[in-house]
Amino acid sequence: MAFELPDLPYAHDALADLGMSKETLEYHHDLHHKAYVDNGNKLIEGTEWEDRRLEDIITGTYAAGSVAQNGIFNNASQHWNHTQFWEMMGPGGAAMPSELEKAITESFGSVDKFKADFSAAGAGQFGSGWCWLVKDADGGLKVTKTENGVNPLCFGQTALLGCDVWEHSYYIDFRNKRPVYLSNFLDKLVNWENVAARLG
């Protein structure tokens, strides 16, 4: 089925006071994400993937061990990644639900340790990519990082939280200070209720 650019779940300026400017979201959502949608639709047209679910396209075109992924995968996975990313943030400033805090504490020892591990993964991802809080098949939580558009679906994991560490996600607001962007993301931008709902 054709990819469609989702609307942001909040206004473009809704996160400005929290560290993600209207300009960033206009570039990131309206231009970058739209490009993945448009390019992905062109690439799947007339192929076996044209009528498949987005998640099936991602897992079906991922080439494990490959130095560079193919165009269909790159655009499909980045479309999925960004759709999740918008939903994982919000202007509400909601506290972390108790069930999520309990699960994180059981896996990492404390919320602060999780945040430190998550930030370290994002800061340590060389070049473009993502850092994630995932739930493994055994139910345990862990922090991972992936290059470019690769995501937890490729490894049979459930994405609970993801942060885009491509420069276009933070350069307008934070220039080259990726660690500061990551800290701000965790402290001010995450919609923890959305993350908790993904626990299943």
Q: Is 164 annotated as a binding residue?
A: yes
pLDDT of res. 191: 97
The predicted structure's pLDDT at residue 144: 98
pLDDT at 1: 82
Q: Where in the chain is the domain with CATH 3.55.40.20?
A: 98-198
Is the domain spanning 20-88 CATH 1.10.760.10? The answer is no
CB atoms closer than 10 angstroms to residue 117: 18
51 is in an annotated binding site: no
What's residue 92's pLDDT?
Answer: 87
Give the architecture (CATH level 2) of 98-198.
3-Layer(bab) Sandwich (3.55)
Alpha helices in the chain (DSSP H): 22-25, 34-44, 54-61, 71-87, 98-108, 111-124, 171-174, 178-184, 192-197
Is residue 28 part of an annotated ligand binding site? yes
Per-residue pLDDT of the chain (200 residues; tens, 9 = 90+): 899 999 999 999 999 999 999 999 999 999 999 999 999 999 999 999 999 999 999 999 999 999 899 999 999 999 999 999 999 999 987 799 999 999 999 999 999 999 999 999 999 999 999 999 999 999 999 999 999 999 999 999 999 999 999 999 999 999 999 999 999 999 999 999 999 999 98
The pLDDT value recorded for residue 145 is 98
pLDDT in tens, 120-137: 999 999 999 999 999 999
12 is in an annotated binding site: no
**161, 155, 156: which is closest to 121 by C-alpha?**
161
Instruction: Provide CATH 1.10.287.990 ranges for the chain.
Output: 20-88
